[in-house]
Amino acid sequence: MSDLSDDVDPITWFEEQGLSQEDLRQAARCISEFEIVQYSRGELGDERTKEVDAHLQSCGECTEMYVSLSDEAKKPA
Ligand SMILES: [Zn+2]
């Protein structure tokens, strides 16, 4: 019962998306907390948003940070 498809190798995932080695290098770098806040507010540029999207696909740590930060961002200041 371990036939889940969520253990896709990130490199395979990138190739399937038609992304380049350069995209992979970009995505391999973790996103700063500051950028994740901007991302959750939709304040990043289109290009950077795509990079962050791609990174979040392959990085559980940043996804967790994004989830917790976007919860924060929803609270009234
Ligand atoms: Zn990361």
Summarised one tens digit per residue, pLDDT across range 13-44 is: 778 888 777 766 666 689 999 999 999 999 99
The answer to whether the beta carbons of residues 70 and 40 sit under 8 Å apart is yes
Nearest to 26 by CA among 45, 7, 51: 51
Residue 41: inside a domain: yes
Q: What is the dihedral of CA 49, 54, 57, 62, to 10 degrees?
A: -60
User: Domain of 72?
Assistant: 31-77
- pLDDT tens digits for range 3-15: 556 677 777 877 8
Q: For residue 2, how far is its CA from the centre of ligand 1 (angstroms)?
A: 25
pLDDT for res 69? 84
Number of domains in the chain: 1
Contact 73, 40 (CB under 8 A): yes
Query: Within a domain: residue 25?
Result: no
Distance 61 CA to ligand 1 centre (A): 5
Record the pTM. 0.58
